[in-house]
Each structure stands twice: as structure tokens, then as C-alpha cells.
Amino acid sequence: MDQYEPDALSAAQVAAMRRSMTSGRGALTRRSMLRASGVGALAIGGAATLSACGIPPAKREETGAVSNDHSAKEKQINFSNWTEYMDTSEDGKSRPTLEAFARRTGIKVKYTEDINDNVEFFGKIQPQLAAGQPTGRDLICVTDWLAARMIRLGWAQKLDASLLPHAFANLSAQFRTPDWDPGRAYSYPWTGISTVIAYNSKATGGKKVDSVTQLLDDPTLKGRVGFLTEMRDTVGMTLLELGKDPAKFTDADYDAALGRLQKGVDKKQIRRFTGNDYTSDLDKGDIAACLAWAGDVIQLQVDNPDIKYAIPAAGYITSSDNLLVPAGARHQTNATRLIDYYYELPVAAELAAYINYVCPVEGVSAELTKIDKSLADNTLIIPDRAMAAKSHAFRSLTSKEETAYEEKFAKLIGA
């Protein structure tokens, strides 16, 4: 990880960003749908800018970036997050958990919903970070691939573990050891994002669909199967079905997964590769079964009881959005205390009840039951041990790998 790595974006990466922003997870709204976990979810304008100029090479410092901490004298935090990603009162005029934190600690949180996608936001703060200047933010929430990049570049501050007793104790095991931040020295997850198999039981004649093999080989599903235009999700799920670990795969493994998918294209088993537009086809039954994002399933089931989901025996792909303290933050102690606050069980439950994403906090079920038992019982929000054990992360990619993989994937899906 100490190698210098240019981070300019290739044409293939920019194309992947366009797919994500126009029809992938990057195009979806926060509460009702899910966003991109990979290099998708990027604004085309921001993508073009970063593609042209790249990011200056930088070396990760083992101790993380350090800045003067003014927390003791300045009781405030500047927190940047995505829209609809924080609990809000029914009248929309207050944010209950943030206000409770302020009452308890005396620390005022300036909460700004100024993250619309990862690269557009990174484009805002990258010039200051590269120049060693503060961004004006003490806490940010970014998807795992961008969190990894910021840590690698030395643009995230190492967290003070002594200020994180609840986070350390309550972090779910499935989120503890990402390859880009082992032991969570620099980050803690805000939420998890899961890729599962969804099917319309009416369209399948009552048949359960629970494996990628079934999606690719079941003749009764021919021409009515969907896979995703997000490379990490589609290839990651296929790697698992082939018995390969998405956290450790080789170039040969990747090519084998593409070959498996190509057969599904050639024999017209796969109807098409989709972004979020699969939801309408799945709801109508035009697509009988597909790879899907868990948040979509939760929303579709509200109005259509025929929509079911399955976790393959081989496992499923999970990504995460993560809290980081950026280099130059003025109030890192205050920000770290806020991270820990959201790992207190009652607070975590209140947040999960509102946003309906995978909660990364272990032991929250009892508190969430007090709010809404149906949410507490939903394994797409609180995975049980069996489901959590099947969760896998797609490993971090070098710039060279990402370019090569996106180019091959684009050919597969006809992009």
C-alpha cells in the first residue's frame, strides 16, 4: 500500500460512472434505493474533471494525517453526508439523534447534505487535501472504495481508539476487517449495502430462485434473467458461485467469471444487464429473477407480495458507506465522539428505523424491536448470524486492474 499510485480515471472507468449515474445505483434516491459501492456513483462532470487531471501521487503515512485539534475550545462539528441519510422528525424540521447528541455533549453539529455522489464530492475537497489545507469538514461519509483511496493517499486521520468504546465493542463482525482499513483504524461504517437475488414468485410459477447457477442455467428462466451493470456486484456474485473469494481473486478468476456470464449472454439466458430499472420489470414479471440491491427489495415488497429474495449458499456481496475524519479537520475529537455515539444501541436503532439500510451495529435488534418489530426481524436490515457469515467484500483494485476489468466488463454487457 506504500506504492505511489496515479489515480487518473480511464475511459472505461468514466463509462462505468456514466452507467451508474444514469441507471445504476448512482441514479437512485437515498431512502428508497441504494447507491453504487464501486467506482460507479460518480457525476459525469466530476468524472471528466478527475479523468483529465488525475490525483497527485501520495504516500500513506502510518500514523495518518494529523492536525491541530480545537475540540476542547470549540464545541462544534462540521458533518457532510448524503441526502436522506439521517433520521428526521415527521415534520422534517429536526434531526432527533443529532439534537440529542448536542444536548448531551454541548457539541453543536453543523449537518450538511452536500454529498450527491462520491467523485463529485471528492472533487470539492481534493484541492485542499492535496495542498495540505483543511476542507472545512470534520466528518464525512463516503463509499468504501473512496474511503480506501483517501486512506491510501494519507488524507484521513487515524482515529483515537480510546474515544470509540461503543464502536469498538458493537461493530458487527462482517465489517471489522476490510482490506483497505484492517481493524478500522481510520474509518467506521455508517451503513452496509447488500447485493442479493430477487425474484417474482408469480413469474417463476412459485419456484424459488436462490443461486447464480440457477439464474444462468435454469431453462424455465431463459430470457427473463437480469444481471447488474455494476461490475463489482455482477462479477463478485459470479466469483462466489465459482467458489472463488472476491477478496482474493486473480486475473484468471476474473476472466473465468466473465466467461461464465458470457455463456449466459450467448444462449440468451440473460435478458439484459440493468441499473435500477430492473425494479419495474421485476415488479411486472417481465424479469422473473435477477441480481438486486437489498433496499430495492424492501421497497418493492411494500406493494407486491410476490417479490421475494434469496441469499445464495455461495454467499453475497456487501459494500459500505463509511465515516472518516479528513486530514486538516479542526475538531477531530468531537467528530470521533459523534462516530462512537452512533454505535450506542438506542441511537443506532433510531437511525436504522429511518434509513432502512444494513445496520453495522451488533446487538441493535432489541432496541429496534421497540420501534418497529418488522424492521428488527428483517435480515436485509439486521443480518442474522447465518446471513452475516455469507457476506463478502469485493477486494480493493489497483488503478491498472480497475481499468482492465472495466474494459472487459463493458464488452460483456455491450456498453
How many C-alpha atoms does 172 have within 13 Å on its Cβ side? 27
Let me know: does 248 contact 215? Beta carbons within 8 Å.
Answer: no
pLDDT of 69 higher than 80: yes
For residue 133 the three cell numbers come to 489545507
Provide the residue range defining the domain that includes 400: 193-319+394-413
Residue 225 maps to which CATH number? 3.40.190.10
**Alpha carbon of 154 to those of 122, 325, 392: distances in Å?**
14, 11, 26
Asked whether residue 302 is assigned to any structural domain, the reply reads yes
Residues 173 and 113 occupy one common structural domain: yes
- Distance CA(67)–CA(331), nearest Å, equals 9
Asked whether residue 63 is assigned to any structural domain, the reply reads no
For residue 390 the three cell numbers come to 455469507
Let me know: does 212 contact 225? Beta carbons within 8 Å.
Answer: no
pLDDT of 84 higher than 50: yes
Average predicted confidence (pLDDT) for the chain: 86
- Quickly tell me which residue has 439521517 as its cell: 86
pLDDT of 43 higher than 80: no
Closest by alpha carbon to 140, among 122, 158, 153, 163? 122
Reported as a pLDDT band with limits 50, 70 and 90, residue 398 is: confident
pLDDT of 46 higher than 50: no
Residues 263 and 398 occupy one common structural domain: yes
Residues 310 and 336 occupy one common structural domain: no
pLDDT of 56 higher than 50: no
pLDDT of 262 higher than 80: yes
- Distance CA(155)–CA(133), nearest Å, equals 10
In this structure, the dihedral spanned by the alpha carbons of residues 347, 351, 356 and 357, taken in order and rounded to 10 degrees, is -80
**Alpha carbon of 369 to those of 86, 107, 151, 256, 352: distances in Å?**
19, 29, 36, 44, 11
Alpha-carbon 231 to chain mean position: 14
Average pLDDT, integer, range 320-347: 97
Alpha-carbon 46 to chain mean position: 19
Residues 144 and 269 occupy one common structural domain: no
Asked whether residue 42 is assigned to any structural domain, the reply reads no
Q: How would you classify residue 243: left for phi > 0, otherwise alpha for psi between -120 and 50, otherwise beta?
A: left
- Distance CA(263)–CA(331), nearest Å, equals 54
pLDDT of 41 higher than 60: no
Asked whether residue 370 is assigned to any structural domain, the reply reads no
Instruction: Quote the number of domains for the chain.
Output: 2
Average pLDDT, integer, range 352-360: 90
Residues 214 and 333 occupy one common structural domain: no
Average pLDDT, integer, range 380-403: 90
Q: For the chain, how big is the Rg over CA atoms in Å?
A: 21
Closest by alpha carbon to 335, among 101, 123, 178, 120? 101
Let me know: does 212 contact 246? Beta carbons within 8 Å.
Answer: no
Residues 283 and 161 occupy one common structural domain: no
Residues 131 and 200 occupy one common structural domain: no
Asked whether residue 165 is assigned to any structural domain, the reply reads yes
Average pLDDT, integer, range 258-277: 94
